[in-house]
Amino acid sequence: MVIDVHCHIIPNIDDGAGDINISLDMCRIAQEDGTHGIIATPHYIHGTINNTRDLVQEKVLELNNSLRESDIDIEIYPGCEAFICPELPQLVREGQVCTLNNTQYVLLELPMNSVPTYTQDVVYQLKLDGYTPIIAHPERNRTIAKKHDILYDLIGRGALAQVNASSLKGLFGEKVMHTAIELVRHNMVHLLASDAHTTGGRSPKLSRAIDVIEREAGAEALLMIMKNGEAVLNDEPIHIEEPVMYEKGSKAGFVDNIKKVVSGFFSF
Ligand SMILES: [Fe+2]
C-alpha cells in the first residue's frame, strides 16, 4: 500500500485545499498516481493555528464521506504537521496535537531558516514519552541545507526524516533539490510524502520522485522508503539504514564516511 504521510488535503483548514472540490480533485490525482491512503496533515501552530486532534478527526470523517459519495477509492487518515515549540511534547501528551493516524509518529515542522536550540530537547522528550518525531522536509530548512549533520545528529537522537517528492524534482529550486538528494544519498531520508497543497505544482504525486530515489540510493532503499509509509500508518517500527555523516565534497558510501558511523549509537 502506498501511503502519503504528509498532505494538506482537508479543505478550508489551513493553506492547503481551498474547498471540498479541490480536496476531491487532489484525491483523484493521488489515486491515479497510485496512492492508496493519505494522512491529512493540516498545520498546527501553538497559539496561532489551532487544528486540534478532535477537529482534524471530525474533518477527516467528513472528507471520507465525500469521497465515498464521489466514488473515489482513497482513504484519508487523521494527523497534523506540528510546528515546533517548547510546549509540543506536552500538547502531544494532552491529545491536542494529532499524531499520524493516532500512532507514535509525530510530524514535526521546523522553521524555514533555523533549527531552534530547544529542538534536541523536544525530540528527547517526545522519545521519552514513547513518540517518534518525523522531521518534515528537512531539505527546505536553510540551516540543515548548510550543515546536513544537524539532521544526522537529530536522527541519532531518535528522530526520522521525510522528504518532499516535489523537492526532489526541483520545485523549490536547485539548492533544495541538491540538499534533498544529498540527504537521500546519506540515508537520512526515511519517508517520501507529497506535502501537497493544491492540484497544481504542489499536487499529491509521489511517483514523480521515485526515479530520483532509485537513481541516488538504489531500488532497495526506494522499496524501504515506500514501505515505511504503510508502517507509519499501522504504528509499526519502520526500517532504517544507518545514516552516513556528511562531509562536504564527498559522496555517501565512501569508506571514509562509513568509518565515522559509530556502531550502536543509534537508538533504533
Ligand atoms: Fe506541510
Domain ranges across the chain: 3-259
Rounded to the nearest angstrom, the distance between the alpha carbon of 42 and the centre of ligand 1 is 7
The class (CATH top level) of 3-259 is alpha beta
Coil, helix or strand for 120?
Answer: helix
Ligand 1 centroid–CA 137 distance in Å is 8
> Could you tell me the distance, in angstroms and rounded to a whole number, from the CA of residue 106 to the centre of ligand 1?
13
Ligand 1 centroid to residue 41 C-alpha, Å = 7
Strand boundaries in the chain, DSSP class E: 3-7, 37-40, 43-44, 75-77, 81-83, 105-109, 132-136, 160-164, 191-193
* Distance in Å, CA 84 to ligand 1 centroid: 13
What is the pLDDT at residue 247? 66
The Cα 126–Cα 74 span in angstroms is: 31
pLDDT at 248: 57
Tens-level pLDDT at each residue, the chain (268 residues): 999 999 999 999 999 999 999 999 999 999 999 999 999 999 999 999 999 999 999 999 999 999 999 999 999 999 999 999 999 999 999 999 999 999 999 999 999 999 999 999 999 999 999 999 999 999 999 999 999 999 999 999 999 999 999 999 999 999 999 999 999 999 999 999 999 999 998 999 999 899 999 999 999 999 999 999 999 999 999 998 999 987 654 444 443 343 333 333 333 3
| Cβ atoms 127, 157 nearer than 8 A | yes
Report which of 243, 44, 52 is spatially closest to residue 151, judged by C-alpha positions.
Answer: 243
Q: What is the pLDDT of residue 265?
A: 36
Ligand 1 (single-atom ion) residues, CB below 5 Å: 81, 195
Q: In whole angstroms, what is the distance from residue 81 CA to residue 169 CA?
A: 22
Query: pTM of this prediction?
Result: 0.92
Residue labelled with grid coordinates 533504533 = 268
Assign 79 to helix, strand or coil: coil
* Distance from residue 255's CA to the centre of ligand 1 (Å): 36
Q: How far is the CA of 195 from the centre of ligand 1 (A)?
A: 5
| 49 DSSP assignment | B
